[in-house]
């Protein structure tokens, strides 16, 4: 029965039952961690062959260049070809770099800030005049996007994000009105954390909308492009093609990486864009490095072989993590469904489940869970400045712990969700 329909006496009885259940969790000495979207050791093991590659006899790339030496700023052609095929981007419009796409996000924004991106003056010049650069943040979103933007002095403007895309009307209105709005964060496929997928139609609107800033930039972070959890393996939208069609070819910065394909800490990252954007980025990059870790790129190319090699590997990841997502959804439905106190996403891919609990209880749920040995990402972390106005959102990252631990943690979490909701109703 819905919590809203319970009489005060029934609520008190439920409160007592839940308190007992919660108190029983504590002596169990749980040490469960659902905080970050990390691959499990079992997933990392899928790529252990990398550790033996490229091997002492393999020191040149397909073009005959010695990968041990300096140079090759744009990265190996063969690894750009594989990820170009996966992302639907020509290899010459892709740069392959070192192990973190977040670093490329940092660098590209810093280059825009310090030197200006094509079509605009350095954003820092505006900041020096006391103006505030602003960035649109579809929420819930990726906390590190928000922290990076904040660290560069940008104001974060939240915009609602639903599972089928963001609030376009608001985005269009704001971007058309305010020349200080320079960018929007987009995780187009299986967004972190709510699994949202941006359709071609939504993408077309974003690349074609009039913007007050000539150098408005879509920060298109396709971190989960190939991370499917169902047989419906959605294809990446041709964002650069659509942007070119809309006569805004330079509007989009594309980011991706193999972090959750091979090794999260030792993968290859990618930056994509129009030819103009790639030339601009390389010109700036050439002052920062003489070239990327080409040995790592070569070993990835040898291991993954081609786009189908990546797809096959991702199916093996899916076999490991799909049961964890299914367990979360099953336990939440079983424990919370009838009380109508929470809603959660059932993503078709990616790394997260987004859980909305009773309003004004998320922080309390996270606190209760922590005391019971279940670590969750801080409430509000999926919102700009860590502030969820309704204090209701919790991000669940089920990939890292073993399945049995995921089950125990989510069952414990469900107890905390209910206990916090009932306590609030009784207050």
Contact 299, 50 (CB under 8 A): yes
Q: Which is nearer to ligand PLP, 249 or 350 (CB)?
A: 350
Q: How far apart are CA 353 and CA 229, in angstroms?
A: 12
Q: What is the footprint of ligand PLP within residues 179-208 (CB under 6 A)? A: 187, 192
Closest CB to ligand PLP among 146 and 154?
146
Q: How far, in Å, CA of 114 to CA of 101, rounded?
A: 20
Q: Which residue has the tokens 């041990």?
A: 68
The secondary structure of residue 60, as a DSSP letter, is B
Q: For the sheet containing 181-186, what is the strand order? A: 94-96, 269-272, 252-257, 217-221, 181-186, 134-139, 155-162, 165-166
The neighbour count for residue 29, using CB atoms within 10 Å, is: 8
Q: Is 309 helix (H, G, I), strand (E, B) or coil?
A: helix
Prior bond of 357 cis (ω within 30°): no
The reply to whether 43 sits near ligand PLP by the rule CB under 6 A is: no
Q: Is residue 345 close enough to count as binding ligand PLP by CB under 6 A?
A: no
Structure tokens at 224: 């989960």
Decide if 83 contacts 214 (C-beta within 8 A).
Answer: no
Residue whose C-alpha is closest to residue 192's, from 240, 255, 237, 134:
255
101 binds ligand PLP (CB under 6 A): yes
323/346 Cα distance (integer angstroms):
13
**Least Å distance between CB 368 and ligand PLP?**
25
Binder of ligand PLP out of 77, 194, 203, 269 (CB under 6 A): 269
Q: What angle do CA 387, 382, 115 make, to 5 degrees?
A: 95
Distance CA 232, CA 347 (A): 12
Q: Which of residues 204-243 bind ligand PLP (CB under 6 A)?
A: 221, 223
Shortest spacing between CB 264 and ligand PLP, in angstroms: 6
Stretch that binds ligand PLP, among 44-52, 99-107, 157-165, 294-302 (CB under 6 A): 99-107
In angstroms, what is the minimal distance from the CB of 103 to ligand PLP?
7
Q: Which of 93, 259, 274, 415 binds ligand PLP (CB under 6 A)?
A: 259
Report the C-alpha gap between 186 and 236 in whole angstroms. 13
Tokens at 124, concatenated: 């820092």
Task: Identify whether the C-beta of residue 94 lies closer than 8 Å to the C-beta of residue 263.
Answer: no
SS3 61: coil
Closer CB to ligand PLP, residue 228 or residue 407?
228
- Residues 106, 149: contact at Cβ < 8 Å? no
Minimum Å gap between C-beta 99 and ligand PLP is 7
Shortest Cβ 97–ligand PLP spacing (Å):
10
C-beta of 191 vs 209, nearer to ligand PLP: 191
Q: Mark residues 132-151: x for contact with ligand PLP by CB under 6 A, - for none.
A: ----------x---------
- 321 is a contact residue toward ligand PLP (CB under 6 A): no
Other beta carbons less than 10 A from residue 316's beta carbon: 12
Size of the site for ligand PLP (CB under 6 A): 12
Q: Which span (40-48, 94-102, 149-157, 360-368) binds ligand PLP, by CB under 6 A?
A: 94-102
Q: Does 268 bind ligand PLP (CB under 6 A)?
A: no
Q: Is 100 in the site for ligand PLP (CB under 6 A)?
A: yes
Identify which range of 97-105, 207-215, 272-280, 293-301 contacts ligand PLP by CB under 6 A: 97-105
Task: Provide the β-strand partners of residue 270.
Answer: 96, 256
- Cα atoms found within 13 Å of the Cα of residue 44, Cβ hemisphere only: 13
Cβ distance to ligand PLP smaller for residue 221 or 388: 221
Residue 325 interacting with ligand PLP (CB under 6 A): no
Helix (H, G, I), strand (E, B), or coil: what is residue 83? Answer: helix
Nearer to ligand PLP, 78 or 221 (CB): 221
By CB under 6 A, residue 154 contacts ligand PLP: no
Least separation in angstroms between CB 22 and ligand PLP:
30
Of the pair 223, 422, the CB lying nearest ligand PLP is at 223
Q: Is 93 in the site for ligand PLP (CB under 6 A)?
A: no
Please, which residue, 72 or 193, has the CB nearer to ligand PLP? 193
Instruction: Count CB atoms within 10 A of the CB of residue 389.
Output: 11
**Binding test (CB under 6 A) with ligand PLP, winner from 43, 77, 217, 257:** 257
- Contact flags string 11-40 toward ligand PLP, x per CB under 6 A: --------------------------x---
Binding site for ligand PLP (CB under 6 A): 37, 100-102, 142, 187, 192, 221, 223, 257, 259, 269
């Amino acid at each position: 029965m819905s919590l809203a329909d319970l009489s005060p006496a029934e609520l008190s009885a439920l409160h007592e039952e839940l308190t007992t259940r919660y108190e029983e969790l504590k002596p169990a000495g749980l040490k469960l961690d659902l905080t970050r979207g990390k691959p499990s050791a079992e997933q990392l093991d899928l790529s252990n062959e990398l550790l033996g590659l490229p091997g002492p006899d393999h020191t040149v790339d397909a073009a005959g260049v010695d990968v041990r030496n300096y140079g090759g700023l744009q990265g190996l052609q063969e690894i750009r070809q594989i990820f170009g095929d996966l992302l639907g981007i020509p290899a010459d419009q892709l740069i392959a770099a070192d192990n973190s796409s977040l670093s490329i996000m940092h660098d590209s924004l810093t280059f825009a800030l310090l030197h200006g991106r094509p079509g605009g003056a350095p954003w820092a010049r505006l900041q020096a005049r006391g103006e505030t650069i602003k960035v649109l943040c579809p929420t819930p979103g990726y906390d590190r996007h928000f922290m990076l933007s904040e660290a560069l002095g940008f104001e974060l403007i939240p915009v609602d994000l639903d599972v089928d895309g963001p609030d376009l009307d608001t985005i269009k209105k704001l971007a058309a009105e305010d020349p200080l709005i320079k960018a929007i964060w987009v995780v187009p496929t299986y967004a972190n954390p709510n699994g949202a997928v941006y359709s071609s139609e939504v993408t077309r609107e974003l690349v074609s909308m009039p913007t007050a800033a000539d150098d408005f930039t879509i920060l298109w972070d396709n971190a989960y492009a190939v991370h499917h959890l169902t047989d419906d393996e959605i294809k990446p939208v041709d964002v650069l093609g659509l942007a070119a069609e809309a006569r805004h070819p330079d509007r989009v910065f594309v980011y991706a990486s193999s972090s959750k394909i091979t090794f999260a800490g030792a993968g290859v990252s990618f930056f994509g864009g129009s030819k103009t954007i790639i030339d601009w980025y390389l010109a700036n990059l050439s002052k920062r490095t003489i070239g990327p870790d080409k040995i790592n790129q070569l070993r990835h190319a040898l291991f993954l072989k081609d786009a189908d090699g990546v797809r096959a590997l991702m199916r093996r990841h899916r076999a490991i993590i799909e049961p964890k997502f299914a367990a979360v959804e099953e336990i939440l439905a079983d424990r919370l469904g009838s009380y109508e106190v929470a809603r959660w996403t059932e993503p078709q891919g990616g790394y997260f489940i987004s859980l909305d609990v009773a309003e004004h209880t998320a922080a309390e749920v996270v606190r209760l869970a922590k005391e019971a040995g279940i670590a969750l990402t801080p409430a509000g972390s999926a919102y700009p400045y860590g502030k969820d106005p309704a204090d209701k959102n919790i991000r669940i990252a089920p990939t890292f712990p073993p399945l049995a631990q995921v089950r125990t943690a989510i069952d414990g979490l469900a107890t905390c969700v209910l206990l916090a909701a009932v306590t609030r109703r009784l207050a």
